[in-house]
Structure 1
Amino acid sequence: MTSVKEFRIAEAATPDSLGRGAFYFTDDYSVFDWGKMPDQIPEKGASLCAMGAFNFELLEANGIPTHYRGVVEDGETIALADATEPPREMAIDLTQVPDLPNDGRTYDYDAYHDAAGENYLIPLEIVFRNTVPIGSSLRRRTEPADHGLDFAEWPDEVVTLAEPIIEFSTKYEKGDRYLDTEEAAEIAGVADLDAIAHVARDVNRLVTEQAASAGLTHEDGKIECLYFDGEIRVADVVGTFDENRFSYDGQQLSKEVIRQYHKRTQPEWVEAVTEAKAEAKRRDIADWKSLCDVDPTPLSADVLTVAQHMYAAGTNAYIDRDLFAAPSLAEAVAAVRDL
């Protein structure tokens, strides 16, 4: 179980073979790594499932292997184009995901790979950035020159990149962190890091092109991959409004809208989360959430409706199909601006 989708196993993976299973997309959402929030966004799960399925089919059509098998309707696995209603379940191939032992904030990746063999989920998130907005963590961690940019310091405006920046972060640590190339290669195991980065660039290019066809700007995103039979395959879910950040006419169109709304309306909770994460790091404790003494409160019905329409209208535009009964993308974005 993840914080926003359920994980179902029909046939477990073995060291020598992939298994079979499915994701069931709920309407739950998560911000600031909190996990399941106290309310739900209607149609969010189906929006993510449809957009993710569309992107997996786009990748497969362009020769990029994935773990996707189709969406599920009435118990049958079908292509998204054959779905008669917004899907909530996605059939996938399964790989092995061993336990990752830890002592505080020290994680034993050797044990993970000893158990995984050569059929495993690569314990990395691969991040691609097409822009560097104000407030991006990249500005705190690096200098423009580190990326070949001709700035003495980061400018007070969004930086649009000629070539995407690829970064690697941990996947299963309680407090995820960005990695240098050497540590990322070690954590990747037998999977080649350069090959993983190449896949990420191809995925980014295809999602960026598809977004542009819908009038959207693709700002950044991430993928996860599995390694099986010497091949890197894209896993988890790809190119949705939760995994990636898009904008429309300068307005953010992604989960970031909900994050920023919480920052404005529940600053005490956001500050408590930040302090708990910092305290956990000081104490070398993995479970930062146990140190947080403030809980988030539910959003109003009006805000949830705006979020619902953002996901549904954005998906309709991206997949070029009126799968959801939703306002136009322009109308949905106008409501987001008014939050």
Structure 2
Amino acid sequence: MTSVKQFRVDREATADELGRGAFVFTDAYSVFDWGQMPDEIPEKGASLCAMGAYNFELLEREGVPTHYRGVVEDGEVLPLADVDAPPTEMAIDLTQVPDLPHEGRSYDYDAYHEAAGENYLVPLEIVFRNRVPVGSSLRRRTAPADHGLDLAEWPDEAVDLDEPVVEFSTKYEESDRYLDRGEADRIAGIASIDDLETVAREVNRVVTERAEAVGMTHEDGKIECLLYDDEIRVADVVGTFDENRFSYDGQQLSKEVIRQYHKRTQPDWVEAVDAAKAEAKETDVADWRTLCDVQPQSLDEVVIETARSIYTAGANAYLGRELFDAPGLDEAVAAAREL
């Protein structure tokens, strides 16, 4: 299980064949890589499932291979358009995901690929960026000039990029880190780093065009991929308010709203998380959470309801369908501005 969705295996993948399984989406949420937080956000899981399914179906129509099979209603696998209620289960093809051995923060990718063979989940996240909003890690790691921007420093508002930026980060390390292209290529195994980038750019194009069609701005996002039969296929979930940053009329619609709220209202916890991550890096400890001496606190009910509205109203707008009982997007955005 991940921090926000359960993973069910119906048939194991083998070295030569894909398996079958499902994601079961929960209403849990996670920020700052903490894992499951104290509260749940009602209907969050269903909104992620619906948006992910919608985007997978868009990608398949555009000729981009994925591991998606449909959403599940009453035990039957169906296209999203054929369900009447918000789905919480997504049927998927499964690939092999070997253990990634490590000593401290030193990870043995050679062992991973020896066990994986030619049917495996690529142990990378491929990140694409169209805009650099407040809160983006790109601001900490690079300067505007690195991206051809005529700015001395990052301003206090979002900055549009002339061309999308694609980056690679680790997937299964306790503290994910961004990689140069050479290390990303090594970690990817026999999967082509060029093909991974090409697929990421195509996913970015499809999601960006859909967002623009409904008045949203797609700022950044990420994908995961599997390799099967010498083909890169998009895996995990794509184009949701957890995997991607979207905005509407200048207001964030993504999980970033809750992330920034925690920064303002629980700064001691956020600072403790940063300190624990730094200490773990210095002392070669894999799980930084064991070094964090402050726990996150529950959210007020008004914050939870506002978050629910962001996910459900945003999903309705993106899908072009009133799948959720939710306020209009303008109302949800107005409430988010008040947090």
Shorter-chain TM-score bucket reads over 0.9
Q: Paired residue for 2:180?
A: 180
Question: Match for residue 77 of structure 1?
Answer: 77
Equivalent position of 2:290 in the other structure: 290
Structure 1 position 151, deviation (Å): 4.1
For the Cα contact (< 8 Å) 2:147–2:161, is it kept in 1?
A: no
Instruction: Please tell me whether residue 203 in structure 1 is matched to residue 203 in structure 2.
Output: yes
Runs of 4+ in 1 over 6 A off after TM superposition: none
- Residue 96 of structure 1: aligned partner: 96
Match of 1:36 in 2: 36
The secondary structure found in structure 2 opposite 1:31 is coil
Gaps of 5+ in 2: none
- The aligned runs of 1:5-20 (5 Å cut-off) are 5-20=5-20
How far the C-alpha of 1:141 sits from its partner, in A, is 1.7
**Equivalent position of 1:241 in the other structure:** 241
Overall identity of the aligned pairs, in %: 74
Partner of 1:21: helix, strand, or coil?
A: strand
Q: Provide the rounded CA distance (Å) in 1 between the counterparts of 2:153 and 2:240.
A: 32
* 1:90 alignment partner, SS class: strand
**Aligned mates of 1:62, 1:152 — CA distance in 2:** 39
Task: State the shift of 1:154 in Å.
Answer: 3.9
Provide Cα deviations, 1:133-190, integer angstroms capped at 9, x if missing partner.
Answer: 2443223222334334444544554321121000000000000000000000000000
Distance 1:283 1:333, change over 3 A: same
TM-score by length of 2: 0.98
Q: Give the distance between the partners of 1:46 and 1:222, measured in 2 at CA.
A: 20
* CA distance in structure 2 between the aligned counterparts of 1:28 and 1:208, rounded to whole angstroms: 26
Q: CA RMSD in A?
A: 1.1
Residue pairs, 1:292-331, within 5 angstroms: 292-331=292-331
Farther off after superposition, 146-155 or 228-237: 146-155
Give the 3 Å change call, closer, same or farther, for CA 302–155 of structure 1 in structure 2.
closer
Structure 2 counterpart of 1:163:
163
Structure 1 residue identity aligned to 2:90 = M
Which residue identity is paired with 1:2?
T
Unaligned stretches of 5+ in structure 1?
Answer: none
Residue of structure 2 in register with 1:231 after alignment: 231
CA deviation after TM superposition for structure 1 residue 240, in Å: 0.1
Residues 1:301 and 1:153: Cα distance change in structure 2 (over 3 Å): closer
Matched, 1:67 2:39: no
Count how many residue pairs are aligned between Structure 1 and Structure 2: 339
CA distance in 1 between counterparts of 2:172 and 2:119 reads 17
Counterpart AA for 2:278: A
**Aligned match of 2:120:** 120
For residue 246 of structure 2, give the secondary structure of its aligned residue in structure 1.
strand
Partners of 2:105 and 2:148 lie apart in 1 by 33
Superposed displacement of residue 297, structure 1: 1.1
Name the residue aligned to 2:266.
Answer: 266
Contact 2:121 2:225 in 1 (8 A): yes
SS at match of 1:168: strand
Alignment partners' CA distance in 1, 2:229 and 2:8:
23
Give the letter aligned to residue 103 of structure 2.
D
SS of residue paired to 1:331: helix
Tell me which moved more, 56-65 or 135-144.
135-144
Cα 1:310/1:155, change in 2 over 3 Å: closer
Seen in structure 2, the aligned counterparts of structure 1 residues 83 and 264 have a Cα distance that, compared at 3 Å, is same
1:103 maps to a residue whose letter is: E
AA of the residue aligned to 2:292: C
Distance in 2 (alpha carbons) for counterparts of 1:126 and 1:170? 9
Q: TM-score, normalised by structure 1?
A: 0.98
Amino acid corresponding to residue 113 of structure 1 in structure 2 = H
